[in-house]
């Protein structure tokens, strides 16, 4: 048994937040149906034409290795066409959740908005993920993760020095955490309410809101004191000697997180700097201590320091590159790198399941497939005869 077994999700999303959300729900057992433009985007179609016979194999490989597409079926529907919308409505009548990530207003123009689907299926949980939300003065602004975390005050506090530009943290914060992960949590909450009332609801996820929400503790400090966090001068952002990253002799890095006094004391003893034990909280001495620790750490390799730190209680971490992560014994034990099958004779390896449920663990039951892989089967389930499916495909209604 899987936790979300029996839940059907129609996924209209394209970019990172929505597919990540539905990957999480799919890993936990939901039946996810990707609905995309037949043949992909115009750019996709041009690339396929240029590559000829290799295009299909390449597309299938890319889909298989993309973890965000796993545990999902895929059909092509041109929602600008009335007949395609009828197919979508038929699917929506039986669905539990719809996830979309278009710019606000697009689903209304396509006729697949919440109010329309609610009239068809009052129990539908409809989740919209956008940069700034479905209302407000920024509703129609375009953007990406870097823009959302800027408005949310997150980018402004990330980086080593307040006199230097902020450090761009990839697109983890708004896209995946404030967008996709928060959407998954919110959908589960809405489904729980539906279990009690029988009614669905509209879930409005703003990636900017979500990023502010992630920073709740940091904003709590500002709202209590009136003092904004200064980039590079906060104890959790590289100002303190005990919560920092240091370069080793071999060019590799180790992170230290010795916040607690007992960890700090152990660290100072290993460094033969017991004189610093009483002055951990003296901010005026932090720059001096950081430089002292840099000079100490550079004298040994990462492996040598790990051997030393393992002799006592010191909070440390080896700073891995991506090609080191899945060789780590903890990652192997926790199965965070898994083989999920083969495509074109090649083993497909993906990130493992994050949530570990003892009685109903999630699973990867299938890897991603190209758009349209399941179109015929899905339409057949809805009662469309083969001749009708062929006609719709010929006219580009489905694909």
- The pLDDT score that the predictor gives to residue 54 is 85
- The pLDDT score that the predictor gives to residue 45 is 57
Segments making up each domain of the chain, as ranges? 8-214+333-394, 243-325
Catalytic residue among 11, 145, 175, 204: 175
- The pLDDT score that the predictor gives to residue 377 is 97
Catalytic residue among 44, 81, 144, 376: 144
- The pLDDT score that the predictor gives to residue 137 is 98
Query: Is domain 243-325 in CATH 3.30.1540.10, yes or no?
Result: yes
Query: Is domain 8-214+333-394 in CATH 3.40.50.10540, yes or no?
Result: yes
- The pLDDT score that the predictor gives to residue 161 is 81
What is the Rg, in whole angstroms, of the alpha carbon atoms belonging to the chain? 25
Residues of the chain with pLDDT under 70: 40-53
Q: For this structure, is 275 an active site residue?
A: no
- The pLDDT score that the predictor gives to residue 53 is 67
- The pLDDT score that the predictor gives to residue 160 is 84
Q: For residue range 24-54, what is the model confidence (pLDDT) as tens digits?
A: 999 999 999 999 999 755 555 556 666 666 8
Q: For this structure, is 144 an active site residue?
A: yes
């Amino acid at each position: 048994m899987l936790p979300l077994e029996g839940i059907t999700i129609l996924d209209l999303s394209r970019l990172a937040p929505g597919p990540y959300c539905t990957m999480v729900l799919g890993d936990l057992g939901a039946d996810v149906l990707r609905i995309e433009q037949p043949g992909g985007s115009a750019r996709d179609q041009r690339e396929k034409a240029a590559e000829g016979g290799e295009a299909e194999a390449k597309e299938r490989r890319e889909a298989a290795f993309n973890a965000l597409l796993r545990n999902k079926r895929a059909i092509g529907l041109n929602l600008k066409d009335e007949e395609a919308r009828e197919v979508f409505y038929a699917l929506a009548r039986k669905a539990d959740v719809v996830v979309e990530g278009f710019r606000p207003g697009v689903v209304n123009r396509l006729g697949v908005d919440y109010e329309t689907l609610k009239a068809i299926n009052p129990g539908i949980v409809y989740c919209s993920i956008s940069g700034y939300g479905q209302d407000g003065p920024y509703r129609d602004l375009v953007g990406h993760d870097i823009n959302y975390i800027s408005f949310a005050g997150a980018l402004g506090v990330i980086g080593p020095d307040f006199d230097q530009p902020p450090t761009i943290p990839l697109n983890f914060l708004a896209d995946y955490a404030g967008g996709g992960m928060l959407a998954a949590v919110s959908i589960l909450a809405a489904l729980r309410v539906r279990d009690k009332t029988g009614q669905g609801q509209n879930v409005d996820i703003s990636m900017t809101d979500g990023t502010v929400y992630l920073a709740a503790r940091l904003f709590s400090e500002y709202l209590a004191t009136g003092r904004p966090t200064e980039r590079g001068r906060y104890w959790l952002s590289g100002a303190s000697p005990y919560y920092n990253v240091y370069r080793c002799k071999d060019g590799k890095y180790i992170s230290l997180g010795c916040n607690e006094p007992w960890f700090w004391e152990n660290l100072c003893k290993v460094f033969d700097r017991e004189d610093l034990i009483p002055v951990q909280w003296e901010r005026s001495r932090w720059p001096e201590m950081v430089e002292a620790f840099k000079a100490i750490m550079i004298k040994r390799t990462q492996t040598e320091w790990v051997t030393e730190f393992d002799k006592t209680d010191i909070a440390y971490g080896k700073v891995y590159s991506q090609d080191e992560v899945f060789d780590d014994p903890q990652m192997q034990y926790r199965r965070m790198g898994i083989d999920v099958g083969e495509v074109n004779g090649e083993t497909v390896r993906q990130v493992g399941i994050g949530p570990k449920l003892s009685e109903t663990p999630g699973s990867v039951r299938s890897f991603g497939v190209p758009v349209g892989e399941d179109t015929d089967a899905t339409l057949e389930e809805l009662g469309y005869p083969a001749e009708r499916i062929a006609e719709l495909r010929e006219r580009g209604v489905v694909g």
